[in-house]
């Protein structure tokens, strides 16, 4: 449980000065989303295009000085799908080809590659987005992108109270352990579930309390703006740069390959 806080705060924004960091968040979200969309749209066997995308992503990672430890953590999330990607060449459909002395499925190899490269690019782009944008700014960005207001509000509550509630969870774990509790197997599930039940009651009551407090301070439901972001024409151009580069990489390679 000691790693709880770390896990929660690991998506932390890091302050840097470059135009990508300073892009208004709604433009940045749209830009990253469309970049990933172009990558996903590009067929896996245009591997030259995907290698170019990977170079762009590596360039962005270096430019934004993203820590290796953060990259490693994100790659761990991918593991189940990496396993699936490795199974594909073994269990995939015919024809089979010789691959380093193994009889592997050719479509399976391509499909495995397709999943690995796209998922990795997606994960890295999402990391670049979250480490270059404060969480609050992400919400403002979503609101500007016409996300339902209520959904943005729920998200803002979630982001604000995640640390509070997970700290509560940690305290409960300490309380259990100090009473000599050790979770060894399913026999201990009922104790853990009771903690979870207590956590729900506390979260619910906290929600009610917070709501009352907010109402008493004149809460209307809108996300108060503390910083005003102006998006200039320049930001718009900078924002379209990323998907535009991706699109041209895709077009250039499809012309060359045909």
Is residue 76 near other proteins by the rule CB under 8 A? yes
- Interface residue with other proteins among 135, 229, 231, 240 (CB under 8 A) is 135
Q: What's the distance, Cα to Cα, between the start and end of the chain in Å? A: 54
Min dist. Cβ of residue 241 to other proteins (A): 18
Is residue 134 near other proteins by the rule CB under 8 A? no
Q: What is d(CA 233, CA 226) in angstroms, rounded to the nearest whole number?
A: 23
Site string for other proteins, 110-129 (x = CB under 8 A): xxx-xx-xxx-xxxxxxx-x
Q: What is d(CA 151, CA 200) in angstroms, rounded to the nearest whole number?
A: 21
Site string for other proteins, 188-207 (x = CB under 8 A): xxx-xxxxxxxxxx-xx-xx
Which lies closer to other proteins via its Cβ, residue 80 or residue 101? 80
Site string for other proteins, 237-256 (x = CB under 8 A): --------------------
Which lies closer to other proteins via its Cβ, residue 3 or residue 178? 3
Which lies closer to other proteins via its Cβ, residue 64 or residue 135? 135
Site string for other proteins, 149-188 (x = CB under 8 A): -xx-xxxxxxxxxx-xxx-xx-------------xxxx-x
Give, as ranges, the residues between 23 and 42 that touch other proteins (CB under 8 A): 29, 32-33, 36-37, 39-41
- What token pair was written down for 178? 């100090």
Is residue 7 near other proteins by the rule CB under 8 A? yes
CA-CA-CA-CA torsion for 179, 185, 189, 190, nearest 10 degrees? Answer: -70
In the block, residue with structure tokens 């591997």: 47
Min dist. Cβ of residue 179 to other proteins (A): 17
Those residues whose C-beta lies under 8 Å from the C-beta of residue 5, and which sit 6 or more positions away, are: 163, 166, 167, 170
Q: What is d(CA 16, CA 128) in angstroms, rounded to the nearest whole number?
A: 12
Is residue 49 near other proteins by the rule CB under 8 A? no
Min dist. Cβ of residue 130 to other proteins (A): 5
Which lies closer to other proteins via its Cβ, residue 87 or residue 234? 87
């Amino acid at each position: 449980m000691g790693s709880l806080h770390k896990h929660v705060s690991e998506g932390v924004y890091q302050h840097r000065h470059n135009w990508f960091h300073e892009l208004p968040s709604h433009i940045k979200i749209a830009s990253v989303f469309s970049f990933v969309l172009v990558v996903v749209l590009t067929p896996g066997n245009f591997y030259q295009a995907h290698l170019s995308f990977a170079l762009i992503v590596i360039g962005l990672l270096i430019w934004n000085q993203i820590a290796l430890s953060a990259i490693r953590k994100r790659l761990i999330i991918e593991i189940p799908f990496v396993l699936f990607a490795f199974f594909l060449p073994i269990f995939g459909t015919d024809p089979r080809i010789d691959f380093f002395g193994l009889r592997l499925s050719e479509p399976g190899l391509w499909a495995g590659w397709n999943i690995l490269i796209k998922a990795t690019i997606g994960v890295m782009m999402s990391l670049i987005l979250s480490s270059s944008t404060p969480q609050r700014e992400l919400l403002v960005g979503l609101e500007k992108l016409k996300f339902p207001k209520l959904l943005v509000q729920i998200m803002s509550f979630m982001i604000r109270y995640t640390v509070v509630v997970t700290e509560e969870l940690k305290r409960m774990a300490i309380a259990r352990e100090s009473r000599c509790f050790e979770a060894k197997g399913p026999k201990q599930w009922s104790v853990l579930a009771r903690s979870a039940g207590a956590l729900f009651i506390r979260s619910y009551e906290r929600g009610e309390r917070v709501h009352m407090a907010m109402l008493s301070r004149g809460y209307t439901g809108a996300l108060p703006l503390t910083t005003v972001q102006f998006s200039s024409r320049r930001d718009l151009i900078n924002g379209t740069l990323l998907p535009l580069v991706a699109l041209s990489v895709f077009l250039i390679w499809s012309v060359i390959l045909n």
